Amino acid sequence: MIAPGVKPLRLLVVEDDPNLNNQLVEALKDAGYAVDSARDGEEGHFLGDTEPYDAVVLDIGLPKMDGLSVLEQWRKDGRKMPVLLLTARDRWSDKVAGIDAGADDYVAKPFHMEEVLARLRALVRRSAGHASNEIECGPVRLDTKAGRVTVHGTLVKLTSHELRLISYLMHHIGRVVSRTELVEHLYDQDFDRDSNTIEVFVGRVRRKLGVDIIQTIRGLGYTVGMTSDAG
């Protein structure tokens, strides 16, 4: 049984304070995210510029390159992932500057970890075009807040990796998702990207769901919510 709050996403945390960085990373991993982290602006900018993150938690006050500069450069280069800013500053002008630089939301320090998690869930839902915590495809329902999948109202027991996979596909209903994209978004940098793990998980999820909502598109990948002659 998966713990409540598991998500299908890969996140980046850019925070220079070692303790807060570790707390954020551990809290996000406990919630089921795959997480990479950086402790200065240059490293954070590089990771965000070269890896396909679903969302970023970005501190404003960073060494080497401040958070606003990192964000502005990402947006200038066309990086569109949602960004949640962390700031210890109380001045409204700083918050406005963050939003104008391309931030999607912000949290002022000190904060409650649950608020960060809730705001991230909302950002990811909106970026995928979903207004609700629940996503449905036929008899399959995904509760993104609780990290639960049901079929015809019956809970399906999935491992964390199986849940990440079906969740990512259901966040992108109607779009073909390649194996490479799944690997890049579901796992952190240490994952063996040459393995056939994705194919194994797809087979397991299909069996556990017991309904045929995951379609294989030969040579392209997988999709949910579409029909295909490929098998």
> Tell me, what CATH number does 119's domain have?
3.40.50.2300
Which residue has 């700083």 as its token pair? 94
**For residue 93, what is the DSSP state?**
H
Residues 100 and 41 reside in one and the same domain:
yes
Name the domain count of the chain.
Answer: 2
190 or 53: which leads in pLDDT: 53
**With 50 as the cut, is the pLDDT of residue 228 above it?**
no
pTM (predicted TM-score): 0.61
Mean pLDDT of 205-222: 90
Whether the Cβ atoms of residue 191 and residue 149 lie closer than 8 Å to each other: no
Residue 231 in any domain: the answer is no
The predicted structure's pLDDT at residue 1 = 32
Cα 32 to Cα 5: distance, rounded to the nearest angstrom:
7
Residue 4 in any domain: the answer is no
